[in-house]
Chain A
Amino acid sequence: MSAVPLLFGLLTFTFFIIHLTPGDPVLLYISGDIDPQYAANLRATLGLNDPLPIQYVKWLKSMLVGDMGVSFSMHDEVVNILARTIPNTLILTTSALIVNFAIGIALGMAAALRRGKTTDYIMNVVALFIYSMPEFWLGLMLILGVSLHLDWLPASGMHSPLALYLPPFEYFLDLLEHMILPVFVLGVASAAATGRYMRGSLLEVLGQDYIRTARAKGLSETIVIGKHAMRNALIPIITLFGLSLPFLLGGAVIVETVFSWPGMGKLTIDAIFARDYPVIIACTLVSGVMVIIGNLLADILYAIVDPRIRYV
């Protein structure tokens, strides 16, 4: 329940910050073909002429009854926009998170267990190389290489233009095809970092007395690593996982922009530039809730992995 005032404070803070930011949302659409009085009429229709405290009270009333308002730039209910965008983001970010942790943990383990050997060095160099590449650049290079020159995968979007006519399985394959490049950029780049954490954590655990004891007891290496070392080595990874959860709904601005993926990250950024106040606040709400849930989940996972941790 303590999260409720936290969220309320966050939203109020966002409301005032965004309204106090210079820039008039309706002026973006003024051009030679548009009525110069249009801005004034629209401002009145959208309630932007009210004093800020009145706007705040109106907004508060609406939020309390679950009305998030109407987007200025997209001319649609914010709830509808979120309902459309959140699944798109979840598809991308969940896949990326799975790839990130699956590959990261596997690579980290492999590097730790072969410490000082050629495999370890190669993995370190490759991990650093991938981690150092900006997502924007990596995305564009993949589009040029894999999509344009090799013509293996589509360059952008979630579906082919006529995917709506495809049967369900082919529709799913079409989605999968479009997911590969953005998930690769998001997942593999982060996996490099996760792998480095995992390697360091596992090496630290492998040097502990209880591991030596387990080996001295004659336990097989699989049990020593899988049962004794891994559970402890995973604790920092869980923290990392908890911190990554807001990303699930926060989206990935750069990757979504490069690959034209209609997700939350791009929605938030577009809304900020368009001064689309209702959408900005809704995105903040979603991110805020995810941070809270992420922390809660991380705490639960700590207790599962480490029996010493108990919450009263």
Chain B
Amino acid sequence: MSPRFLIFAIACCILLVSCGKGPGKKDPMSETAVVALSGDADNLNPVVSNSTTASEIWANIYPTMFDVSFDLREGKLKFNPGLVQSWSFENQGRDVVLILRKGVRWEDGMPVTTEDVKFSYELYGDTEVASPRRNYVESMIFTNNKFDVDKSIKIIDDTTMVFHFAKTYPLQLFHLNLPPVPKHVFRNADRRTLRTNPANDRPIGAGPFKLEQWVRQQQVVLSRNSKSVLPSPAKLERTVFRVITEPTTRLTELKKGTVDLMQPIYPDDVEDLQTNNPDIKLVTLPPRAYDYIGWMNIDTEEYHRSNKRIIRPHPLFGDRRVRQALTYAIDRRAILREKLKAYGELAVTDFSPIFRWAINKGLVPYPYDPEKARQLLRSAGWTDSDGDGILDKAGRNFEFTLYYNVSNKRREYVATVVQENLKHVGIRVNVQAVENTVLFQNIDEKRYDAFIGGFSVGLAIDPSDRWGDVSSSFNTVGFQNTRVGELLKLGLHARDERDAGPFWMEIQSIIHQEQPCTFLYWIKDIVGVNRRLKNTNINTLGVTDDMHEWYIGDPRAAMSP
């Protein structure tokens, strides 16, 4: 076989496959949107699914209790009728009466009733199922530490039911918004193995789309559910979610026009896209995720040795003045400029800027001020007594290791800047990249003195896990403050969300003062959308929140199949 023959053979192959595309027929892609995913859905059953990717998909298959929107001007969730036609609060707000819409049917023709909703909440609350959304039932009625579904939920008839709560709090409606699954499908399912129940792979829903095909690790195809009344059948014939793991390949597909929507676009790619791809629209999402540097507030050695009983200040970071000094010493604005450009904002506390009504606007971000940092460190007793350029106190040098997850280029940059910045104030930082799973486990178990972490916040304010109990895995730095504990209770028990505002603001004030972490920046995710895809209304609830309203606007821009 000569090289010429080889080239000829490859050319023939390309020609052969090109012949497969014939003009003439109606292009099926003119009714189809393609969304690129970085990974596959883990599960299409909302009770056990725990990936964001999966929720973008199943939210369009299963019925939603309420049609929820997030009002960015007010910074609040708005609840409109969905499967729940109307609702009222009784018994001083502890009971919520829900009236379900009549005539809603699952794809298989069975009616959606209050039995389905009650059964679904039973699944969500069962510890054997291990649902990631179990906390939604935590304020309902418990008997012997077990979620008591019969005391929590009373069925009046097929469309009327009452939810009983142990207390009133602002998130009651939010916690009633878990999608129901059909009882007749899962009634006999083994709870412990619900994750792998075959019915999860062929969901029976009542939403605007239905599952047409799921080729694991490749794609999920949803097609229009023409019988849906929640809220209506999708305008698109179908949406294909394609798994494309490599970011460069994903971006290439978007540029090529073979993908209509992808998230995230990296800030470094924005300029190129804006210059060379006018057919791609870039949408910036409101910030719901932030990066921070965790300074361990408590002495972890003592904490673990005493089996989490003895809590003493950390020898390096236990002093508030030291933590403030560290924030002053780090040039957070420089990091923001370099890595996020216009797609981020300086973080003051962990309260997302989207909750406008609850944000304490009086708090000013700590400026980059190495001199102020040195003063604070001096007042905390850290001086360079031996003249080696490193601060010391009682014979101990101010030196620690800063951990971050490997392959996260943004955090790698942060680690380098922190190392350099803190060197100028006399602190030696060793930087160590570790694998994701290792980092998460060590943060969860409070094994690190300092680390770069990230957090994405929910759609309603609930800082209790973050700043409440020291042992909570979300309280990654072991922060504790009596006043914050009181304020959390007050805020979470307020009858109306607005009433909790002053409590949240005071918590922010304390957090800002205490600096349990150095909050770095809020990240505004960027979504790339092909302009042929119309009415996307991408918002803070997710890119596919209004997917049933999407349509293909310009047929001339339709892609090749």
A interface list, Cβ under 8 A from B: 22-25, 27-39, 41-42, 44-45, 70, 73-77, 81, 84-85, 102-103, 106-107, 110, 123, 140, 143-144, 147-148, 151-162, 164-165, 170, 173-174, 176-177, 180, 184, 257-260, 262, 266-267, 273-275
Contact = CB atoms under 8 A, between A and B. Distances in A.
Interface string B458-483: 10000001000000111000000000
B6 interface: yes
Contacts of A39: 444, 473
B281 to A, nearest CB: 19
Interface stretch (B214-222, B313-321, B371-379): B214-222
Given A29-B132, A148-B256, A161-B240, A74 B472 contact: no
Given A38-B134, A103-B6, A70 B196 contact: yes
B252 A144 contact: yes
A101 B429 CA distance: 52
A23 B216 contact: no
B433 interface: no
Interface in B9-29: 10, 13-14, 16-20, 28-29
Interface string B185-202: 000000011011000100
15 contacts: A24-B444, A27-B444, A45-B129, A70-B195, A74-B40, A74-B216, A75-B43, A76-B196, A77-B196, A148-B255, A154-B258, A156-B244, A164-B221, A176-B16, A260-B246
B416 interface: no
A143 B20 contact: no
B127 interface: yes
Nearest to A123: B3
A266 B51 CA distance: 19
A23 B249 contact: no
A98 B240 CA distance: 33
Contacts of B51: 29
Contacts of B458: 32-33
Contact of B34 (A75, A123, A144, A161): A161
B181 interface: no
A164 B213 contact: yes
Contacts of B509: none
B48 interface: yes
A170 B193 CA distance: 39
Given A70-B195, A170-B20, A173-B20, A33 B456 contact: yes
A101 B129 CA distance: 51
B165 to A, nearest CB: 17
A149 to B, nearest CB: 10
B42 interface: yes
Interface in B424-447: 435-438, 440-442, 444
A23 to B, nearest CB: 3
A35 B135 contact: yes
B535 interface: no
B133 interface: yes
Contacts, number: 199
Contacts of A259: 246, 249
A227 B40 CA distance: 52
B338 interface: no
A260 B130 contact: no
Contacts of B79: none
Contacts of B20: 170, 173-174, 177
B522 to A, nearest CB: 13
A274 B502 CA distance: 41
B193 to A, nearest CB: 8
A260 B255 CA distance: 17
Contact of B440 (A24, A143, A184): A24
Given A30-B473, A30-B474, A158-B218, 17 more contacts: A32-B456, A33-B132, A37-B135, A38-B50, A74-B216, A102-B1, A106-B6, A144-B252, A155-B256, A156-B249, A156-B252, A161-B561, A173-B17, A180-B13, A260-B243, A266-B245, A273-B436
A45 B132 CA distance: 13
B459 to A, nearest CB: 8
A174 B216 CA distance: 19
Given A75-B42, A162-B29, A84 B216 contact: yes
B456 A75 contact: no
Nearest to B1: A106
B32 interface: yes
A73 B440 contact: no
Contacts of A34: 50, 132-133
A154 B436 CA distance: 32
A23 B434 CA distance: 10
A28 B240 contact: no
Contacts of A174: 17, 20
B242 interface: yes
Nearest to B136: A35
Contacts of B130: 38, 41-42, 44-45
Nearest to B464: A36
B42 A157 contact: no
B173 interface: no
A155 B29 CA distance: 17
Given A73-B42, A176-B16, A162 B135 contact: no
A103 B456 CA distance: 51
A75 B196 contact: yes
Given A29-B51, A161-B242, A162-B32, A22 B438 contact: yes
A274 B441 CA distance: 12
B434 to A, nearest CB: 9
B128 interface: yes
B437 A35 contact: no
A94 to B, nearest CB: 16
A161 B14 CA distance: 20
Q: Which 10 A-B pairs have the closest CB atoms?
A: A23-B437, A262-B217, A41-B130, A35-B135, A177-B17, A106-B1, A173-B20, A161-B240, A27-B440, A42-B130
Contacts of B17: 153, 173-174, 176-177, 180
Contact of B218 (A144, A159, A275): A159
